[in-house]
Amino acid sequence: MNVYEFFTGLVDFKNKGNPKGIYSICSAHPQVVAAAIAQAQADNLPLLVESTVNQVNQFGGYTGMKPADFRSFVFAVADQYGFPRERIILGGDHLGPYAWRDQPAERAMRAACDLVEACVQAGYTKIHLDASMPLGGDPVDSSGALAPELIAHREARMAAVSEQILSTFAADAVQASPPIYVIGTDVPPPGGIEGDEENVSLTGVDELKLTIASCEEAFSAAGLERAWERVVAVVVQPGMEFGDHVVFEYDRSRAGELIAAAGNYAELLLEGHSTDYQRPELLRQLVEDGVAILKVGPALTFALRECLFALENIEKELYGWSYKAHLSQLGKFLDQAMRDNPVHWRDYYSGSPQDVYLSLKFSLSDRSRYYWQVPMVQEAVSILVQNLKRVEIPLTLISQYLPLHHAEIRRGSLSADPEELIQASIRMVLEDYSLAVR
């Protein structure tokens, strides 16, 4: 599919007063990607899957995958479901120097440019350029922020790399799907906020205007006018966010000035990060207000984790009475993996030992998502699933621990197979997004 034409089609829908959108899956978990593909197949919609600079990069990221590996991984899952590869849009989220922000500025920017090059070569066609973070030796203002002109210059530099790589592709490949660009950033950067903040700041109208104007000027100065024509969206913070145990919901009246100002840019859509855990009606309001790209990530792995914890409780009820039973002990091994290597959560979870304990297990930021690939955790999940496949799970236990699936099973639209229950839990989240964007 032609990605540029798809997104300009969303622009046309917006300008005609019939807003539609697309949701973006920001996850590298195989079961999440499988559920997303199944949902897109059921909806007959394209699927946008994005990897962040931390998840996937030229050095492997925390998933161990480079951009080409991520593409192969997503396509392999799609092939299992018979989902056409051409209906998959691969995107890079927060592509820029964030992962190397502690290094000297020039070294970090070279790494960022190398990442963009690797993504475009791997077939990524949605490129979010984000150079908003200070790098080693950078001058910052009193609030610790970079000058917008410097941010724009660096984002144009990365776009130039993308366009240079694009020029080496065959003409028919470029025509089939030239990459589109997204500019701007939200607060906080990739990874989520720390703890539970008291409020969420909105992107200011002046900030929005300055971001767009400075980027357009930087692209022009770099001779990237044709690339600027493919800048289809700008990231904003319309006042929605989540912390460990709290969700800040979208309030369209509070975001009214920002939405009105964005409406003056007929050629641009808005992209909303941190839309996780928003109620379905609020997701639809976001699309109606021009936020046509809805990012979702932690809410999906949160749903996965919830279901796995529920299945472990069912496992204990079915097998725990026998001292000979080989239980998965999933919760124990996940907790051990997180405490053995706290690098992914220690800067985010704080407070008393009980506060940390609860966050490790139940935080909405779901930093347990970084640990599902740890071998002992993978083995625990495998044992859990195998144990539950050996028996017929009584409906009373489904009602007790997975009540939202109980009615589906009784209607015959879902089985009590543990793998199907996991997929159904993830798709319950995806269905809210599917309805919102249509």
Nearest Cα residue to 240 out of 277, 194, 207, 280: 277
pLDDT at 174: 52
CA 158 to chain CA centroid, Å, is 21
- In the chain, pLDDT over 90 holds for what percent of residues? 90
pLDDT of residue 320: 86
Q: Which pair of tokens denotes residue 391?
A: 């028996």
> Sorting pLDDT into bands at 50, 70 and 90, what band is 171?
low
pLDDT of residue 27: 94
What's the rounded Cα separation, in Å, for the pair 405 and 421? Answer: 8
| Rounded distance between C-alpha atoms, residue 142 and residue 46, angstroms | 44
The arithmetic mean of pLDDT across residues 263-288, rounded, is 96
Q: For residue 194, what are its two tokens?
A: 């720390």
Section 290-310 average pLDDT: 97
- pLDDT at position 1 is 80
Residue 176 binned pLDDT confidence (cut-offs 50, 70, 90): low
**What is the C-alpha separation between 340 and 374, in angstroms, rounded?**
11
Q: Which residues, in sequence order, are CB contacts of 144 under 8 Å at separation 6+?
A: 134
Average pLDDT over residues 232-248: 94
C-alpha distances (whole Å) from 240 to each of 199, 247, 344, 349, 390 are 9, 8, 23, 20, 43
Own/partner contacts of 417-423, CB < 8 Å, gap of 24 or more, are: 417/389, 418/311, 418/384, 418/385, 418/388, 418/389, 418/393, 419/385, 421/307, 421/311, 422/31, 422/304, 422/307, 422/308, 422/311, 423/31, 423/34, 423/35, 423/38
Is residue 422 within 8 A of residue 304, CB to CB? The reply is yes
> How confident is the model at residue 170, as a pLDDT?
65
pLDDT confidence band for 175 (50 / 70 / 90): low
pLDDT exceeds cutoff 90 at 143: no
Q: Decide if pLDDT at 67 tops 60.
A: yes
User: Residue 133 has what pLDDT?
Assistant: 95
Contacts of 338 (CB under 8 A, 6+ apart): 344, 345, 360, 367, 368, 371
Asked if the model's pLDDT at residue 185 lies above 90, the reply is no
pLDDT tens string 354-401: 999 999 999 999 999 999 999 999 999 999 999 999 999 999 999 999
Cβ–Cβ < 8 Å for 294, 437: yes
Amino acid letter, residue 348: Y
Averaged pLDDT, 28-32: 95
Residue 90 to residues 87, 325, 368, 369, Cα–Cα distance (Å): 10, 44, 24, 21
pLDDT at 193 over 60: no
* Region of 277 on the Ramachandran plot (φ > 0 left; ψ -120 to 50 alpha; else beta): left
Q: Does the pLDDT value for residue 198 go beyond 70?
A: no
For the segment 231-255, the average pLDDT, to the nearest whole number, is 95
Encode burial over 244-264: b for 16+ CB neighbours within 10 A, e otherwise: beebbebeeeebeebbebbee
What are the Cα distances from residue 153, in Å, to 148, 185, 203, 310?
A: 9, 15, 21, 49
| AA letter at 272 | G
Distance CA 298, CA 150 (A): 31
Place of tokens 């021009």: 290
pLDDT for position 324: 75
**Which residue matches tokens 């089939």?**
176
CA distance 46 to 125: 13
For residue 168, the model assigns a pLDDT of: 86
Q: What is the mean pLDDT of residues 126-152?
A: 94
Supply the pLDDT for residue 187. 58
pLDDT at 254: 95
**Domains along the chain?**
3-296 (3.20.20.70), 302-428 (1.10.400.20)
* pLDDT at residue 147 in the model: 93
Tens-digit pLDDT profile for residues 327-353 = 999 999 999 999 999 999 999 999 999
**pLDDT above 70: percentage of residues in the chain:** 95
Residues 402-428: what's their mean pLDDT?
Answer: 96
Distance CA 240, CA 272 (A): 9
Phi, psi of 299 (to 5 degrees): -65, -30
Q: Cβ contacts of residue 133 below 8 Å, gap of 6+? A: 96, 97, 98, 101, 146, 189
Give pLDDT tens digits for 75-134: 999 999 999 999 999 999 999 999 999 999 999 999 999 999 999 999 999 999 999 999
